[in-house]
Amino acid sequence: MIECWTRSALAAIGLLVASVPGVAQDDFDDAPVSLSLQVTTDPSTIECRKLETVNPASLMFLPLRRTFNEDFDEHPLSSGRWIPHYSGGAAWPEARYWGGDGSDFKRKTSANGEQQIYVDPRYAGRATTPLGLDPFKVKDGVLSIVASRTPPDLKPVLFNNEYISGILTTQGTFSQKHGYFEIRAKIPVGHSVWPAFWMLADDGGWPPEVDVLEGRGERPGDMVMTTHWRIPSTQKIQSCGFDFAVGDASSAFHNYGVLWEEDRLVYFIDRRPVSDIKVPIGFDDPMYMIVNLAIGSKFFVGVDPVDAETPQTVAFEIDRISAYQIDMEQAQR
């Protein structure tokens, strides 16, 4: 989701589109306490590959135990486990997260060319009191992150951003090294629309970055899963990932996940492995989860800058976010 790598790394990304067969959705509604996930076991010597056909002999079931689950039965900010902005940095005063000049720094990724600002009811922008803007709506156990055009009278207060939207992260509340991370969601579409579920290192560094799901809003049914890392000897950013066609992604809930093992990252759609990569250098620290709805981009293919065609309002619907750790006791039996 942090796209400043793009110009130097587009050549490294495999923009190949694979169709994902339909799977009965009822099988994936819940996040059970224990889960067995079918994974690849052949030697992880391939840097990055799309799993179009998998030798059944190279598959096994990996036992997992749940470590985090959010069903969104209540407002996401009521539990204290979600943070509505980027955080980190000992020199950043707590008050600056909630307003004042420069507070937008933690509420968008400007290098991407994003044209939204992430708000929450406590955020004041340049005003002296909170604006009460809430992009998070919960109904029937589904969270909607709603992006909408900034009211004209609030534009100066909100640093002249074209849209207001929302972000939720678990930085400082939950992070994990290795395991399975999953979102069940519908992927919104529309001009300039850029939903994402992704992970960053808890130490605040970048990369590594794992993009479990990014929607290309101008390409309905097209989503991408990508790994980003840095080459220490050159300091260059490398990226590898694939696009996948999920025809009803905007109208039906699907599960999108990544399994982080010691030797590889395996990406899943509806708990079926679709791509994997040998774990690059630099994946040393626990990672935290991020879910957001950005509007507008300079570099991300399929997401253009805001114009008259951009929807006035668009929602990213999320049924559940879960995390699992590998159950080593079960795996060794």
Catalytic residues: 209, 214
Question: In whole angstroms, what is the distance from residue 100 CA to residue 62 CA?
Answer: 48
Contact 113, 297 (CB under 8 A): yes
Contact 201, 208 (CB under 8 A): yes
Question: In whole angstroms, what is the distance from residue 157 CA to residue 127 CA?
Answer: 6
The residues with which 50 forms a beta bridge, in sequence order, are 275
Contact 168, 134 (CB under 8 A): no
H helices of the chain, in order, are 6-9, 328-331
Contact 226, 211 (CB under 8 A): yes
Mark 203-222 as b/e (b = at least 16 C-beta within 10 Å).
Answer: eeeebbbbbbbbbbbbbbbb
The residues with which 27 forms a beta bridge, in sequence order, are none
Query: Which residue reads 């179009």 in tokens?
Result: 52
Question: In whole angstroms, what is the distance from residue 208 CA to residue 201 CA?
Answer: 6
Contact 59, 41 (CB under 8 A): yes
Contact 174, 181 (CB under 8 A): no
Closest CA to 180 of 283, 65, 47: 65
Question: In whole angstroms, what is the distance from residue 333 CA to residue 292 CA?
Answer: 39
Q: How many CA atoms lie within 13 A of 85 on its CB side?
A: 25
Token pair for residue 313? 């309002």
